[in-house]
Each structure stands twice: as C-alpha cells, then as structure tokens.
C-alpha cells in the first residue's frame, strides 16, 4: 500500500508540474503569435491557483510579457515622441510588480524551510535596476500633464525604489551613485507638496535636503527655494511662529544673500513688540559667530529699529563693515541711524528753535542756540551723506535703497538741485 501511495503522490506531483508547464508553454505560444494580452491572461490564471509552485518562472514570464508593452512607450520617450503616458505608467507598475514577485519567490523558503533554486533572480534584478529611473520619468510626464498628485507619487516611488527586495545588497551603492538624481527627485517632491499644501511633507523633504550642502550645489538645487517653502509651511500651514523663526535663523547662517531673511526675522519681533527676544537673538547670533557680517547687521538692525539705540546700532554696522567694506545694507542703515536719530530728537522736542523761521527767533541768545541746533542737525546729515552716496555709487540700479534718503539729506543740506534729482528718480520709479 505504501508503494502504491508513493506512486500516486509522484503522479499527482507530475500532473501539477505538467499543468504549470502547460500554462507556461501556452503563454509562450501565444506570445509567439503576438497575442500578448491573451498570453498574460493565461499566466494570471495560475497566480491564485493553490497548486501553483513555479511562481518564480511564471512571474518572470509575466514580467517579460508586460515589458513588450512597456518598451515601445519607452522608445517613444527616448526619441522625444508623443507617448501614451497612462500605458507607460501602468505597464511599468505591472512589470516591476511581476519581476519583484519572481525574485521574492526564489528567496522564500517552502513549508519545510527549503529554499528554492535561484534561476531567474539575476535577470529579475538586472531588469529592476533599469526600472528605477523610469519612475522618475513617470513623475516628469505626469507633472507635464499637470497631474501634481500623480507626479508627487512617482517621484516618491523613485526615491523608495532602493528598498525593493531585489536591490537589498545594492541599496547603499545605489544611493551613493544616484545621489544627485535622488536630491533632484526630493526637490521636485518638495515643490509639488508645497503646491498641494502638503505641509508636513514639505517640511520632511526639505529637512532631509538642507544638510546636504555640497550635493545641493552639484545638483543645482536652489537652497533659497527650500527655505522659502519651509517658511510658508511653518507660517501658513502649521501656524508655528517659533519654527519659522528658527528656520529664518538657519537660513541667515547658511545663505549669503540673506538680507530679506534678516529683515523678516526682525519684523517678527517688531510685530509682537518683543524687543527682549529680538535683542537676545541678535546677541546670540553675534556670540555664536562674531565673524559673521549678517549677525552684526541683525544686531545693528535691532538696536536701530526696536531699541532706538542709534550709537549702539552704528557700532554694530561698523563691525559688519569691517568684515565687508562694501556691505550695502550695513552702509545704508548706518546712514539711516544718523537720519533717524536727528529726526527722533526733533520729534521728541530735543530742539527748541530748530525748524522755526529765523525771523521769529528773538534775542541773541536765542539766535545763538538756533544756529547751534542747526549746525548739530546739519552734522547728522553730513555724516549720513558720504555713506549713502557710496551706496548709490556701488548700486546705482537700486534706487529704492538710496534715492529717498539722499533726497532727505540734500534737502537738509540745502542742496536743492540734487534733492530735485532724487525726487525725479523716485517719481519715475527707477530701480
């Protein structure tokens, strides 16, 4: 009886094997007749069959069949010809799925813990390696079709493809070899997430990118864009002013052209009338990096605009100018220190006669005081004059930075022709 049973078992196994071979052979025959869809359906019929054991071969064959649908669209893309984007993407997904399943089947033990023989895995891995960049292309195609959500999905698929089980032993080398490509994909994800107001994703993607300074430069990714997206995500999306302030500080430390960021930082404190925090931040930045012109500028800006300590502000701007003698903003704001100081003093009653008509000033002592006050006032504008004229010389195209200030200076120094010139420049709106 045992012998009969054994023979029956062998026969049953042979029949299952023959059935599976028949499926594979039939699919191959149909493919030879260019009946790809029919061939694929034949293979699919065995996917859920509990008697199927040759999954590695069947999935590998299915992947090959789908590749015949995918490759023509890929060729069109390579030749910059119109392609069926939907077909490109659907066949790509299906192809990757089948080759991955084939690989997994050869690396999964059976019920008895026995590992299958590796036959198709090298081919599966080779094909999958080539598929990674296709997800990047899919992202580009979808973005061109204004499908932001789809583009975002496929750029992310590109980024996550290194986690495919067939690429496990190549993961680190792939990440290193394709670092620029990954950075670019992550940047695209950040922008798409920003456009879709997916604020958490914006913060996550940009946070991963920002520390990679050299890579960002190599991939020509604008660091300023990353910070601007973070600012919006924190302010508009998350309503997190503290995170916004911290990002501003970080941006100031890491971007050379950071003037707007510095002014935004001070504006936050100014809006809240939080002079103490502004001062602490400025002092912290100077202490952290005393060789940073930006740090000294922030301190000067806070001293001038929030504390109204013009002497301290000028000292801070001087420190910035020692580090960069042509630092336009520091130069201009030092000039504004002189202008604002004298204007503030006049508004607060610091002058008894200044601004009055001389004919109404009676008595020699009064006249003497009038002239003394006038001389002092002129002295402030005379100190501001060479600074602001230097700003104009260095940046003639930035009239908004110097025209209004120079008009005020020239007017107070009775240089009427030059004052009128500034008025004309402002009137014409030259930049």
Confidence label for 431 from pLDDT (cuts 50, 70 and 90)? very low
Residue among 356, 324, 342 at smallest CA distance from 256: 324
Confidence label for 307 from pLDDT (cuts 50, 70 and 90)? very high
pLDDT of amino acid 382: 97
Q: What is the CATH number of domain 240-325?
A: 1.25.40.10
The residues spanned by each domain of the chain are 23-177, 240-325
C-beta of residue 230 within 8 angstroms of C-beta of residue 194: no
- Does the structure show a pLDDT above 80 at 66? yes
pLDDT of amino acid 9: 34
- Does the structure show a pLDDT above 50 at 17? no
Mean pLDDT of the chain: 88
Helix 241-254 and helix 293-305: axis angle, to 10°?
130
Mean pLDDT in residue range 258-273? 87
Please write the tens of the pLDDT for every residue from 371-424.
888 899 999 999 999 999 999 999 999 999 999 999 999 999 999 999 999 999
- Does the structure show a pLDDT above 50 at 13? no
Show the CA angle centred on residue 22, arms to residues 20 and 25, nearest 5°.
Answer: 115
Confidence label for 262 from pLDDT (cuts 50, 70 and 90)? confident
Q: Which long-range contacts (CB under 8 A, 24 or more apart) does 252-260 make?
A: 252/285, 252/294, 252/295, 252/298, 253/289, 253/292, 253/294, 254/210, 254/213, 254/223, 255/223, 255/224, 255/227, 257/224, 258/294, 259/329
DSSP 32-47: HTT-HHHHHHHHHTTT
Q: Considering only 70-74, 141-145, 366-370, 372-376, which range has the smallest mean pLDDT?
A: 366-370
């Amino acid at each position: 009886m045992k012998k009969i049973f054994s023979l029956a078992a062998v026969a049953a196994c042979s029949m299952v094997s023959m059935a599976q071979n028949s499926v594979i052979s039939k699919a191959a025959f149909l493919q030879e007749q260019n009946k790809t869809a029919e061939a694929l359906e034949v293979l699919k019929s065995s996917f859920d069959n509990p008697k199927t054991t040759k999954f590695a071969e069947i999935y590998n064959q299915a992947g090959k069949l789908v590749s015949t649908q995918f490759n023509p669209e890929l060729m069109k893309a390579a030749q910059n010809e119109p392609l069926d984007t939907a077909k490109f993407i659907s066949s790509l997904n299906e192809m990757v799925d089948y080759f991955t399943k084939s690989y997994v089947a050869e690396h999964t033990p059976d019920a008895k813990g026995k590992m299958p023989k590796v036959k198709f895995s090298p081919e599966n891995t080779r094909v999958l390696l080539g598929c990674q960049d296709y997800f990047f292309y899919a992202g580009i195609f979808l973005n061109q079709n204004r499908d932001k959500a789809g583009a975002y999905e496929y750029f992310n698929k590109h980024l996550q493809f290194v986690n495919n089980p067939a690429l496990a032993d190549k993961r680190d080398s792939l990440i290193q070899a394709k670092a620029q490509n990954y950075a670019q994909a992550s940047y695209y994800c950040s922008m798409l997430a920003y456009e879709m107001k997916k604020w958490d994703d914006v913060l996550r993607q940009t946070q991963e990118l920002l520390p990679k300074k050299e890579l960002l430069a190599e991939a020509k990714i604008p660091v300023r864009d990353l910070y601007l997206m973070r600012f919006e995500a924190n302010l508009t999306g998350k309503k997190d002013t503290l995170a916004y302030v911290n990002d501003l500080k970080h941006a100031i430390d890491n971007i050379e052209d950071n003037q707007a960021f510095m002014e935004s930082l001070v504006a936050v404190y100014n809006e809240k009338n939080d002079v103490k925090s502004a001062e602490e931040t400025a002092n912290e930045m100077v202490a952290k990096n005393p060789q940073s012109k930006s740090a000294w500028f922030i301190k000067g800006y806070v001293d001038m605009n929030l504390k109204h300590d013009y002497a301290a502000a000028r000292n801070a701007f001087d420190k910035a100018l020692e580090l960069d003698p042509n630092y336009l903003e520091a130069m201009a704001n030092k000039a504004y220190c002189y202008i604002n100081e004298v204007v503030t003093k006049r508004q607060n009653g610091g002058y008894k006669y200044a601004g009055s008509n001389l004919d109404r000033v009676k008595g020699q002592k009064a006249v003497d005081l009038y002239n003394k006050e006038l001389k002092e006032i002129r002295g402030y504008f005379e100190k501001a004059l060479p600074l602001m004229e230097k700003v104009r010389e260095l940046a003639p195209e930035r009239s908004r930075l110097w025209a209004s200030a120079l008009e005020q200076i020239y007017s107070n120094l009775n240089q009427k022709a030059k004052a009128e010139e500034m008025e004309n420049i402002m009137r014409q709106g030259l930049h």
